[in-house]
Amino acid sequence: MREGDRKRGGGAPRRKGRVLVVLRSMWHRADGAYALVVIALWLLVSLVSAVWTPHPLIESDGRNAWARPSASYPLGTDGAGHDLLSWLMRGSLTELEVVALVVLCTAACGLLGVWASIGYKSGAGRGSRTWMVCVDTLIAVPTVIVAMVVSVPLGASIAVIVVACAFAYSLSIVRVTRPVAQLAATSQYVEAARSYGVGEARIFFTHIVPAVAPTMAVQLSLSAGTAILAESGLTYLGIGIPAGVPSWGRSLSDCAKLITVYPLTVIWPGVIITAVVVALNLLGDALRDCADPVVNADLRRTMEGGSR
């Protein structure tokens, strides 16, 4: 709430300075540095793969099928003669798309859910309590089942992953952030703002969203990691990324078929997925500590320096 007031009073430049401070203090922690490096590499590789891959993706040369790892094919090729390295590189772009969509949808649905959970005029009325019962019931529906049902009309597509993940994660966000949101909604800032005649929507965005933002950022970064794991699972089951589209889950599923031919090839997609998921999880932890002015003295100094 205090933050919300400042943000309105402050301007873009100071907020930018704050982001830099947060990034710098993350860089000074081992886990934060690892997360930043891996995520930067991931972004770099996906950008490069959009314009260049060592071998064209659809190059399928019958003579090169099942090729051993060599100088020209560092990770070997699959049964159709596709270069596995190129597919993994382009896969990172697809993965980025999946993660971005899941995070965006989860954030949007999560905010809607939070809004419903604090109730109209911030009173925890019957409506918001019923909604929380619904959340508790719906949260029991497993992601795989949602994905299966959604995949019937949509077929295997990114949309299946996004819908299933956003459904599950936004519900858990509502549950986790509800106490914070409730506290903010009943604060005197909100009461004061309402007495000035500030609208409900504006109160929500200036007072409640900033209050739940730190908790939400951590949850979103965790859900980004889980989305990648879900992608690999759902793609293996044939209801995720469709065949012929490169993704890490697709490479992993293809390698599962290769296991009797070149067992060592299986290692790569798994290592990449694990490394990135670890990075996303650590990002959440580091973000929680570094973006919190109470814990991070540097950030506090910047904020106080700015408000003088």
Partner 1 sequence: MRFVLKRIVAFAVALFVQSIVIFACLRILPGDLAMVIGGTTSTPDQVARIRGQLGLNDPYPLQYLRWLGGVLHGDLGTSQLTGVSVASEIGDRLQITLPLALLSLAVALAIGLPLGVHAVTSRSARVRRTLQVAAIVAGAIPALWGGLLLVMMFGRGVGLIGVLPAQGFPARGWHAFGRALASLALPALSVGVITGAEFMRYTRSALVDVANSDCIAQAMMCGMTRAQAIRRVGLRMVAPQIVSVAGLTFAGMMTGVIVVENLFALPGLATLVMTDLRNRDLLAVQSELLLLTTFFLVMGLVVDVLHHALDPRLKDASEGGGYA
Binding site for partner 1 (CB under 8 A): 124, 129, 132-133, 136-137, 140-142, 144-145, 148-149, 152-153, 225, 229, 232-233, 236-237, 249, 252-253, 255-256, 259-260, 263, 266, 269-270, 273-274, 277-278, 281-282
Question: What is the nearest approach in angstroms of partner 1 to the Cβ of residue 22?
Answer: 21
Half-sphere CA count of 215, side-chain side, radius 13 A: 19
DSSP conformation class of 124: -
Question: What is the nearest approach in angstroms of partner 1 to the Cβ of residue 259?
Answer: 6
Q: How far is CA 242 from the centre of its chain?
A: 21
Q: Which tokens hold the place of 308?
A: 């003088």
Question: What is the nearest approach in angstroms of partner 1 to the Cβ of residue 103?
Answer: 17
Q: CA of 257: how far to CAs of 61, 66, 78, 157, in Å?
A: 19, 11, 9, 21
Question: What is the nearest approach in angstroms of partner 1 to the Cβ of residue 293?
Answer: 22
Question: What is the nearest approach in angstroms of partner 1 to the Cβ of residue 58?
Answer: 25
Q: Could you tell me if 230 and 151 are in contact, meaning their C-beta atoms sit under 8 angstroms apart?
A: no
Instruction: Specify the residue, 96 or 149, whose C-beta has the smaller distance to partner 1.
Output: 149
Instruction: Specify the residue, 64 or 226, whose C-beta has the smaller distance to partner 1.
Output: 226
E strand or H helix that includes residue 254: helix 248-258
Q: CA of 304: how far to CAs of 3, 10, 22, 189, in Å?
A: 11, 12, 15, 20
- Beta bridge pairs of residue 90: none
Task: Mark out the alpha helices in 65-125 (DSSP H runs).
Answer: 84-118
- Beta bridge pairs of residue 83: 77
Instruction: Specify the residue, 107 or 164, whose C-beta has the smaller distance to partner 1.
Output: 164
Instruction: Specify the residue, 88 or 255, whose C-beta has the smaller distance to partner 1.
Output: 255
Q: Is the dihedral of CA 79, 85, 86, 90 positive or negative?
A: positive
Q: How far is CA 298 from the centre of its chain?
A: 27
- Give the contacts of 285 (CB within 8 A, at least 6 positions apart): 31, 218
Q: Could you tell me if 214 and 291 are in contact, meaning their C-beta atoms sit under 8 angstroms apart?
A: yes
Question: What is the nearest approach in angstroms of partner 1 to the Cβ of residue 298?
Answer: 24
Instruction: Specify the residue, 141 or 209, whose C-beta has the smaller distance to partner 1.
Output: 141
As a whole number of angstroms, the distance between CA 155 and CA 148 comes to 9
Instruction: Specify the residue, 177 or 302, whose C-beta has the smaller distance to partner 1.
Output: 177
Question: What is the nearest approach in angstroms of partner 1 to the Cβ of residue 266?
Answer: 5
Instruction: Specify the residue, 45 or 252, whose C-beta has the smaller distance to partner 1.
Output: 252
Instruction: Specify the residue, 210 or 225, whose C-beta has the smaller distance to partner 1.
Output: 225
Q: Which tokens hold the place of 164?
A: 């299933």
Question: What is the nearest approach in angstroms of partner 1 to the Cβ of residue 81?
Answer: 22
Q: To which residue do tokens 């911030």 refer? A: 122
